[in-house]
């Protein structure tokens, strides 16, 4: 059985308010059809039907202060309440205290140790590696965990060869923002098809989408709404390509942010946990209430323990 972990940075379950919450404003017909006509907002969770389960998961973990990316992502990958052990939330990039948890105890490492295949399906452009090599850029928690597991990040060469996807799903950012005019570009549904095709090649695959958190910090409603509408089409394409009998798709986040554009800061909102696939296979996720419980559910499903 396989799992695709689709990570959307900085999305919480917010109020049904079209002035502040792009999830209340965006036109997302496909996701809403899966949710019985409801929007991805706090009053919808919990929800379950033949297609998926929606759970509200607590990212605060009993620690004062607003949840942050480095610790939240590390919790998702390890199942360890790192903020409680350290006494604080931390981010955006891991400090040495957080980084020590990302070496050997993550889902990437456990998958490798179990003799199974794992990958981070994002392709990284040349200037990302230039920044890492020069010391001007630090790994965030997810690529740090991957490389510590002995797995290489995908490059522009992999992207051109169809082995990975751009971080914005479609690749338009590689042309518009990175200035790479011949970079492959996909329509959103086609990007979803490609994501499903790539994920099918691994036991555990991960895709990181970070622009949602950035839009939240910028309080950019138009951009946030466009992102969500693009994601809706990506999800449609993904589920067209994904065979339910192959495994589960897990969609979640590290902390709230984009669901409340009245503030530039992260929020203490619960985050959505969407588990898509066979209802019997989803049972191991049904009792989840907080971020620390997601990793054990994935590890048990993939028999990594």
How does pLDDT run across 133-192, given as a tens digit for each residue? Answer: 998 899 999 999 999 999 999 999 999 999 999 999 999 999 999 999 999 999 999 999
Q: What does the pLDDT read at residue 246?
A: 84
How does pLDDT run across 65-116, given as a tens digit for each residue? Answer: 999 999 999 999 999 999 999 999 999 999 999 999 999 999 999 999 999 9
283 in any annotated domain = no
- CA 171 to chain centroid, in Å, comes to 17
279 in any annotated domain = no
280 in any annotated domain = no
Hey, is 57 helix, strand or coil? strand
Q: What does the pLDDT read at residue 5?
A: 98
The H-assigned helical ranges of 200-302 are 211-218, 221-241, 294-301
* Integer Cα distance of 292 and 294 in angstroms: 6
- DSSP states of 82-143 as a string? HHHHHTS---SS--HHHHGGGSSSSHHHHHHHTT--EEE-BB--HHHHHHHHHTSS---HHH
Does the predicted model carry a pTM greater than 0.95? yes
* Integer Cα distance of 268 and 204 in angstroms: 29
282 in any annotated domain = no
284 in any annotated domain = no
* Integer Cα distance of 37 and 45 in angstroms: 13
The residue range of the domain holding 165 is: 2-274+291-295
82 in any annotated domain = yes
303 in any annotated domain = no
How does pLDDT run across 247-289, given as a tens digit for each residue? Answer: 999 999 999 999 999 999 999 999 999 999 999 999 999 999 9
Cα 163 to Cα 34, 35, 187, 299: the distances in Å are 29, 31, 17, 25
CATH number of the domain residue 76 falls in: 3.40.720.10
43 in any annotated domain = yes
**In terms of C-beta density within 10 A (0-12 exposed, 13-18 middle, 19 or more buried), how is residue 240 classed?**
exposed
Which H or E run includes 255?
none
Region for residue 44 given its phi and psi (left: phi exceeds 0; alpha: psi -120 to 50; beta: otherwise): alpha
With beta carbons less than 8 A apart as the criterion, state whether 37 and 255 touch: no
Q: Per-residue pLDDT averaged across 228-256, rounded?
A: 95
- Counting the structural domains of the chain, the total is 1
């Amino acid at each position: 059985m396989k799992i695709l972990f689709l990570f959307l940075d900085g999305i919480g379950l917010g109020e049904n308010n079209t002035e502040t919450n792009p999830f209340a404003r965006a036109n997302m017909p496909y996701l809403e059809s899966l949710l019985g006509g409801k929007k991805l907002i706090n009053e919808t969770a919990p929800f379950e039907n033949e297609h998926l389960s929606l759970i509200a998961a607590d990212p605060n973990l009993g620690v004062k202060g607003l949840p942050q990316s480095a610790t939240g992502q590390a919790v998702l990958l390890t199942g360890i309440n790192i903020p409680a052990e350290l006494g604080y939330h931390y981010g955006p990039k891991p400090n040495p205290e957080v980084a020590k948890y990302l070496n050997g105890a993550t889902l990437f490492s456990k998958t490798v140790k179990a003799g199974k295949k794992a990958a981070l399906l994002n392709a990284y452009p040349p200037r990302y590696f230039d920044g890492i090599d020069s010391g001007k850029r630090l790994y965030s928690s997810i690529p740090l965990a991957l490389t510590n597991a002995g797995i290489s990040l995908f490059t522009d060469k992999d992207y051109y060869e169809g082995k990975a996807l751009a971080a914005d799903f479609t690749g338009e950012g590689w042309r518009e923002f990175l200035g790479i005019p011949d970079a492959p570009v996909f329509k959103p549904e086609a990007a979803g098809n490609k994501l499903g095709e790539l994920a099918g090649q691994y036991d555990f695959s991960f895709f990181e989408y970070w622009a949602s958190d950035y839009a939240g910090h910028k309080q950019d409603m138009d951009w946030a709404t466009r992102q969500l509408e693009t994601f809706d089409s990506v999800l449609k394409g993904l589920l067209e390509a994904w065979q339910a009998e192959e495994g589960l798709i897990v969609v979640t986040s590290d902390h709230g942010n984009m669901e409340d554009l009245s503030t530039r800061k992260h929020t203490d909102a619960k985050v959505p946990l969407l588990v898509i696939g066979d209802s019997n296979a989803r049972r191991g996720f049904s009792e989840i209430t907080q971020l620390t419980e997601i990793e054990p559910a994935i590890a048990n499903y993939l028999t990594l323990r």
